[in-house]
Amino acid sequence: MVTTVSEMGHTSIGPYSLCFPLDIIEEPSMLLVARSSSNTSINLQQGSKAALNFIEFRKNWLRHVVNLGYPGFDPVEKMKNIPFALTTSPNVRYAEDPTYPLIMQDAFQVFECEVDGTFRYEPGRLTDRSAVECFWRLRITNILLKDSVHTRLVEQKEFPGVPISYGFRHNDAGDARFFFCSHNKPFAVPVAKPEGSTSSHIYYVANKIDPEVRFNEEACGLLVDVPAVFLKVALKGIVKQAREEGVMMVDTEFMKKCNEKRRAA
């Protein structure tokens, strides 16, 4: 559920299925595909920031989700009588920003985003541009996750019950319907663990990257689970961080610091 704010300062909600991770390494961002004439696209074109609100499955919400996505209605009218409470961001930077929308109070997770104005993807179209899609790169500047959900996820005891949309509708005249369902309790499938590199091999590779930044073997032992295809990339990232911080010997403490920084990002 994407919230944006209009030029008049009204927050509107648009439900979207076509929203995907675009960049997960250097500058986390999402790709949003939205109709050019939608309220969401119009608001983004006029300078609005965006919030991606993730909601749990509640059957009585879904009719309102579908209605919010129907084109052609005034956004203020569409927002009347909806069961979703809106609130300001707990992020002070956005709470006081008139171009940042309200967020959904019931969302279990919110990606706070800003439009990347340099991103362009405009494939050739025969159809009038107002009737086709826009491709928006939304840079994720902050992620909000409810404490209760975070605890449940970390303990692997319970997962949010996310609604599943099949992305199509029954289009007979007067009988258009979108299809949704809930899901069962998630279960785990272990990730394959091919034989990794030995700490001595990693030590050899690591100490050839930069003659001034050295690794001890204990630190290299923390990287034995890194797939071989990613090993050099990981080591170069550690060397870069070490140089930035003036560290010439990478030990286990510095490795743990690098891991904490990576997780925080």
Q: What is the pLDDT of residues 8-45, one digit of tens each?
A: 999 999 999 999 999 987 899 999 999 999 999 999 99
Q: What pLDDT score does 78 carry?
A: 87
**Considering the domain boundaries, does residue 100 fall inside one?**
yes
**Mean pLDDT of all residues in 211-215:** 94
**Considering the domain boundaries, does residue 159 fall inside one?**
yes
Q: What is the pLDDT of residues 155-188, one digit of tens each?
A: 887 888 899 988 777 777 777 788 899 988 888 8
**Mean pLDDT of all residues in 194-223:** 89
**Considering the domain boundaries, does residue 33 fall inside one?**
yes
Q: What pLDDT score does 46 carry?
A: 95
**pTM as predicted:** 0.77
Mean pLDDT taken over the chain: 90
Count how many domains the chain has: 2
Please name which of 14, 73, 83, 92 lies closest in space to residue 48, comparing C-alpha atoms: 14
Q: What is the pLDDT of residues 43-95, one digit of tens each?
A: 999 999 999 999 999 999 999 999 998 887 788 888 988 999 999 999 999 99
Residue 220 belongs to domain spanning:
199-256
- Cα separation of 13 and 39, whole Å? 9
Residue 153 has pLDDT above 90, yes or no: no
Q: What pLDDT score does 149 carry?
A: 86
Residue 263 has pLDDT above 80, yes or no: no
Q: What is the pLDDT of residues 234-259, one digit of tens each?
A: 999 999 999 999 999 999 999 998 88
165 plus 247 within the same structural domain: no
165 plus 223 within the same structural domain: no
- Cα separation of 197 and 220, whole Å? 10
**Mean pLDDT of all residues in 137-143:** 97
Q: Compute the half-sphere exposure of residue 229: CA atoms within 13 Å on the CB side of its CA.
A: 1
What is the full DSSP assignment across 146-170?
-HHHHHHHHHTS------EEEEEEE
Strands (DSSP E) contained in the chain are 2-5, 11-14, 19-23, 29-35, 50-54, 86-87, 103-104, 109-115, 133-145, 164-170, 177-181, 214-215, 249-250
Q: What pLDDT score does 23 carry?
A: 93
**Final residue of a domain: which of 181, 213, 245?**
181
Give the domain CATH number at 68.
Answer: 2.30.110.10
120 plus 223 within the same structural domain: no
Q: What pLDDT score does 18 carry?
A: 93
Please name which of 39, 77, 85 lies closest in space to residue 61, comparing C-alpha atoms: 85
**Mean pLDDT of all residues in 94-117:** 96
- Cα separation of 148 and 251, whole Å? 35
67 plus 163 within the same structural domain: yes
